Chains A and B, each alone.
Chain A
């Protein structure tokens, strides 16, 4: 008798333990990407304590700001089951126009010689408007002609880069006004790109989680037909999604101009892939309907921690690219298993 109760008790304990383990696994799956980031930070800081210096940590954040901001816009796009290959080119075009409107009056190669010095608001608005407008063209093409997002944005990628080259004749635009350079500067120890990035994270989070626009993005990505039937204006929302992605390129372009102090026509070449990688590592699923803002942030951080860490450790340039590629693939494998189980 006594033995029986013991057995029952044992079984109960066992199942309780199993449950606990299962809960941990669930948590790990949900927040695995954060665990990975923490692990990465621990390993690197043990190998190289300089990593943890506040200055270096701010560097890591500032270095992730440019593609991190683009990854925020891409999060919307990818949740809606789309893709945007044009973000790097949009950054370059928005950046080069903003830079040409934001040169000091004494610049040796001035793009608009008769313009003098404009208030910093002009280049800022120019970058944001160009980004959003070209993004809206992407969205419009996808919504109204029905061509796949991959094709529409691939076309835009080439077109915007072409515009950039034509606009500049292949030459960089430099000697920018202090107002633009300020965007790449610091307040105390905090880099302004980090502040801008933080602001954009907040805006994106609000849009995605606390507006009907956000709900529509998930609905479109989850099942576009069902979304349409339930009264979502899919076309309008698609235009808005890509316009927002374009807008983030405009913001990233301003951070780029501020940090570098000039913009060249080859700027952000290939950054669409870095931004897509950040979004993907962060668990936003290319099958649509799944993704979070914090995922994109953590994904971007993992990439910049990795780059920073490997540099601090003196790892060969070739290896950095290889490691990045492996991480992207592993992240998607984990992601697919996670989502497959859900279904």
Chain B
């Protein structure tokens, strides 16, 4: 009994660690365009986002319930070690994509992990295919398209109405609007992503019988998940912020405003109905839509293509890592310890690699090093950005992103885990 309690404790801590990586992986969603247009300074932006994430975590539990009661069949004899394996897969994939500056979906990493580990542990009976289809896969495809469409239409509309407006007044107004809409995205992120961790912890508590099946997450679970995601958000995933804010398209304040409003609306509407969609994909979709909505606006399709590839890969890759972790973990206590060691080693080595070329608040908009990060710098020539960025070694722009195929196995090798290598 004591052993189970210890394992459950480890699973809960691992879930909170995942939540933390989720937070810093996704800061970009809310704040990338706000930071890149200079509406808020990087530090203020992440602090605001963190607080609103925490608030959002308390708003709704629909998504948490979809995880603990929908996608995985909790009566299939799931063990905490399965969830542990799932979380290890999700965290390792999250860190790898963060290292590469790719805005992949933390949610899909988690679902991939859960599905992979469950399939390995109890077979296809443990996964509710219908729920996976209707609550994960379909929203995953539909949401970015809807968000993109809405952002595109809203951008066109706003440029049309305001074509004669006083530039000084509208510049100031849109920047205020951007701050407000970025806040909404953060709030939405809390209602959707913090829920996922709550769902996982609740699922764990249900599998060991500490909670009745179908229970709502207890308050301490909601609080700890909210705090973990807020801390992660405050830390800021500067690498991904760079990709989102600068790599995809040039975003001006009206576009940033339209993109964030669209993303926040889609996420909040989905949270309310229990669709646990990927906030990352929604935000990328809306940024692209807003990029195309402005006359003369372009989207860097090569970056978009790499992001789409990472999206497609996330679910199966995290699933494979988790399945391998589960294979190891089910061998007994030493297996669980080995998986934990792999997690620590993998996370540690990726952190060390990231220190070689750090991206932080000071150089997150480094393309603008020559000019202050204001709207005046926003219409910087894209070609110039592409030239300067790789020179600064950022994980953004064409050369830096390509290692997704080539560089990943090396990272996995450092981690000493063949699972990660298989995954890529």
A and B held together in a complex: no
